Chain A
């Protein structure tokens, strides 16, 4: 068959014209979440992470960093002030808790198997989201531990004077 006829036959070939609406809908949310969840998790913990870094630099390594010290003092004054006492729990507990939730929601999937009457839980191994969830939990843990130790210390002081 001549080349021209062959090309014509290819042009006139009846081709499939799929309409993949269901595939499109299924893929969209997953594609959009590929950037969002990691960004959310990171945004919620940037300040707590920075604050704890300043604390570590000043108290554990003994380095006197002017800006870090300013941040620590500022946070202490915000915490002590009557109008802004809510800031510390929000920044160090609620936002990291949201970070845990956002990252776990991204990696966990739930489905119900009617035949076996089982709830199936799957965890996708997206390491960045898992790491961010762990960091958020550590921040909350450190804050709770600090709160417990501070309260224990205050309870003991009156007893010393007795």
Chain B
């Protein structure tokens, strides 16, 4: 983590502008991760927003224990993806906030653009669909390894698991995914 980022994180505990700078830096990255896992723009937007709300409210608890800030965000996003599957009425408060805002034409056209572009990648959609049918623990490590191109050590940091466990989950998960696809 750069000194500049460390400084921003310290300031973000009390200064919303500093958090906004972190947000601008990481929003695209986290949204892309969530979208590659879920494949749906609206859901990805909900999950990403919830992840950043949790990050904003919890930034006082973030400390430098060898976990980069980006990895912390990935971890929150992964947890939110799991929650979105398990919880009824997920992101209800966030959706209430959105319903109070006027319809944003830019968001609507962005949704069409992103989903239409994604629809062209038929091989990816096939893999994504079968991946979503696997257990969450396999989905997470496979997506981080092959969609986000993270190393084993980075995945271990994000998931909070040992590297050996990550390798084992990857191996078993890939076997299950391959059997579904072929």
Contacts and interface: CB of A to CB of B under 8 A. Distances in A.
The answer to whether A binds B is: yes
Interface of A: 1, 3, 6-7, 10-11, 13-28, 30-32, 34-36, 107-109, 111-112, 122-126
A13 B110 contact: no
A22 B16 contact: no
A23 B48 contact: yes
A23 B117 contact: no
Contact of B124 (A15, A30, A109): A15
- From A16, A25, A28, A111, name the one whose CB has the most chain B CB atoms within 10 angstroms: A16
A15 B146 CA distance: 10
Interface in B1-56: 16, 19-20, 23-24, 27-28, 31-32, 35-36, 41, 44-45, 48-49, 52-53, 56
B49 A18 contact: no
Interface string B139-182: 00010001101000000000000000000000000110010001
B89 interface: no
B66 interface: no
A6 B182 CA distance: 10
A18 B114 contact: yes
Given A11-B146, A18-B118, A23 B31 contact: yes
B100 A34 contact: no
B127 A13 contact: yes
Given A16-B36, A22-B107, A111-B102, A34 B57 contact: yes
B35 A16 contact: yes
A104 B102 CA distance: 17
Given A31-B52, A34-B56, 4 more contacts: A10-B127, A16-B32, A20-B44, A27-B45
B104 interface: yes
Given A10-B146, A13-B146, A22 B106 contact: yes
A62 to B, nearest CB: 42
Contact of A1 (B31, B57, B178): B178
A159 to B, nearest CB: 54
A27 B20 CA distance: 11
B44 to A, nearest CB: 8
Interface string B109-139: 1100010011001011001000000000000
Contacts of B106: 22, 25
A31 B147 contact: no
A108 B97 CA distance: 10
Contacts of B114: 16, 18-20
Interface in B59-112: 93-94, 96-104, 106-107, 109-110
A26 B178 contact: no
B94 A35 contact: no
Would you list the 5 A-B pairs with minimal beta carbon distance, nearest first? A109-B100, A22-B106, A111-B102, A16-B118, A22-B110
B34 to A, nearest CB: 10
B29 to A, nearest CB: 10
A27 B27 CA distance: 10
A114 B55 CA distance: 38
Contact of A122 (B32, B99, B142): B99
